[in-house]
Chains A and B, each alone.
Chain A
């Protein structure tokens, strides 16, 4: 890992070195799947600069690579040329690389030594699977790279999506990666840097595995418990910060366990026991069951998150709402943000604005793109 960044005198817009405690999160989805430029997202993020400190920002974009829709798009961050050589060799040996290139970056916007960013559009060779599922194969290869200690990190690995992130203000990261040249039907974004851990390029949000991504405001006090639970299932934590847990947990719950998002929300932020006890028997049994089976994925601590996968964007806060989240709609466009002003600055005239209740997910799905979840949950008494 590269040295953590501390940019003297630039922890806030006033240069007095005070670190203002907040993060900004934002999400925007066209529910008809129409593609949108990133300009509005960057503007919304910049509006919340007061919440940020210029030491981390990032964007997840869905519907990003229509020309390579069917390939896994691996965005890989390398410390240096040596790491790049190793990583490209590894990916070449494990996948069928259809196309690869350096991710265009304008380094004049980078305040700290930026890594090399490379993207690979890859197919999985069926002969290599040996009974492993294709997506599991991709996940395992991502972990192989991230744990290699070669200075290589996969920051996103989904199809037709990608994560662009690093050390800087939201505008700086957008300019660095030429985000104005990309389009997507779903964007999520984050400003500030990992709470309680060093700011570095890999540690910026979003965190992503396959097409699942998450941006997060807050901190996960239960990190140790959550991490142990996930490690027992074969997941590995390599980005040195708490939020990574969410992306791994989403992969397990959404993709591997096929749980509906509402159930996933009840695992991350379950109702309090007193409320569970007061529920009708079927619901009570389900929620008791979830707390028994998935108790290790209860996310304790203050948080608001926006998580996404193809066709789906979800906002969720902790049960007692210790971090802010606002939802809004304008025709087919669904917004989630830390502050209403961020939404208003890109869409002043909204059809509806509301404050979601703590622990209750706000779910936006997309009419044209089937969410990749298969709902198989059966409630039984």
Chain B
């Protein structure tokens, strides 16, 4: 049986040591069903799908290394990861926020349709792949450091902001940025090795800069850093230069 104890009337603590994916998630859901709104998970080591599909105003603090697909299909909660997250962080997330105090693996925010992901450090390959936006819903991913190849691959909507903090030589290793992208925007500080054929790099507008300013402020708040820690230097924006490039694919 999972070890569970409420460490205070506010925060409900679950020790994940020895629990597999299914039992840890059952314990989390059970505590939510019992009315807990703040949950703390200790000794997390690779359990997957944490907070998957959870709805509403919840705070989940994770200590350790959560497994793949953390926050998948999540709709509302805030997750703070005090460490690194693995692959598929925020997979198909609907709304809510994931704040990672370390690095994230590949395919962060894949197919997300809303919510926000803040990563203090670096991201792996294919960040934001297949993100989309609709009506008032617009997913946002903020990466403090750098990102791997295929950033924003097949992006159909949403925002990726890459701060390039600690970047050596001012050039991200990322190649094929925005390949297949046909919606949304990537704001970049620093050069990239290469971009997709469907996208172009443009200067930001006043409106873009105001928007970025707001996200930078949130970044400083989440990671408790000063304004000067989010770096200097202007951002460029990368956007698709065609729309619906395959709209006629099956019509002729």
- Known A-B contacts A13-B20, A13-B22, A320-B150; A47 and B46 likewise in contact (beta carbons under 8 Å): yes
**A324 lies within 8 A of chain B by Cβ:** yes
Query: Whose C-beta in chain A lies nearest to the C-beta of B66?
Result: A341
Question: Chain B CB within 10 Å — which of A13, A274, A326, A355 has the most?
Answer: A355
Closest residue of chain B to A346 (Cβ to Cβ) is B45
Query: Are the C-beta atoms of A345 and B46 separated by less than 8 Å?
Result: yes
> Are B68 and A320 interface neighbours, CB within 8 A?
no
- CB of B31 closer than 8 Å to a CB of A: no
Q: Is the CB of B103 within 8 A of A339?
A: no
A340 (CB) vs chain B CBs: closest residue: B65
Q: What range describes how many residues of A lie at the interface?
A: 20 to 34
Q: Per-residue CB proximity of B125-150 to A under 8 Å, as 1/0? A: 10000000000000000000000111
When distances are taken between beta carbons in the complex, the residues of chain A under 8 Å from B87 are: 324, 339
Selected contact of B106 from candidates A14, A49, A321, CB within 8 Å: A321
Residue from A14, A342, A344, A357 in contact with B148 in the complex, judged by beta carbons closer than 8 Å: A357
CA–CA, A14 to B25, complex, Å? 14
- Residue B64, interface by CB 8 Å: yes
Minimal beta-carbon separation of B120 from chain A (angstroms): 14
Given known A13-B22, A50-B67, contact A355–B103 (CB-CB < 8 A) = yes
Tell me which of A14, A48, A358 contacts B46 (CB under 8 A): A48
Partner pick for A50 among B46, B66, B122, B148, CB 8 A cutoff: B46
Q: A353 at interface (Cβ–Cβ under 8 A)?
A: yes
Q: Using A50-B67, A355-B103 as known contacts, say yes or no to A341 and B86 having CB atoms under 8 A apart.
A: yes
B125 cross-chain contacts in A, Cβ below 8 A? 320-321, 358
Give, as a whole number of angstroms, the nearest-CB distance from B83 to chain A: 8
Nearest neighbor of B176 in chain A, beta-carbon distance = A320
| Chain A residue, CB-CB nearest to B48 | A50
Cross-chain contact A344 with B65 (CB below 8 angstroms): yes
Q: How far is the CB of B159 from chain A (nearest CB, A)?
A: 23
Residue numbers in A under 8 Å from B103 (CB-CB): 353, 355
Report the separation of the CA atoms of residues A342 and B64 in the bound assembly, to the nearest whole angstrom: 12
Other A-B pairs, 20, CB within 8 Å; known A49-B20, A274-B194: A50-B21, A320-B176, A321-B106, A321-B148, A321-B149, A324-B105, A324-B106, A326-B105, A340-B46, A340-B65, A341-B46, A341-B67, A341-B86, A344-B65, A345-B45, A345-B46, A355-B103, A357-B148, A358-B148, A358-B149
Sample 25 A-B pairs with CB under 8 A, ordered by A number.
A13-B20, A47-B46, A48-B46, A50-B21, A50-B46, A320-B176, A321-B124, A321-B148, A324-B105, A324-B106, A326-B105, A339-B68, A339-B86, A340-B46, A341-B45, A341-B46, A341-B67, A341-B86, A344-B46, A344-B65, A345-B45, A355-B106, A355-B124, A355-B148, A358-B125
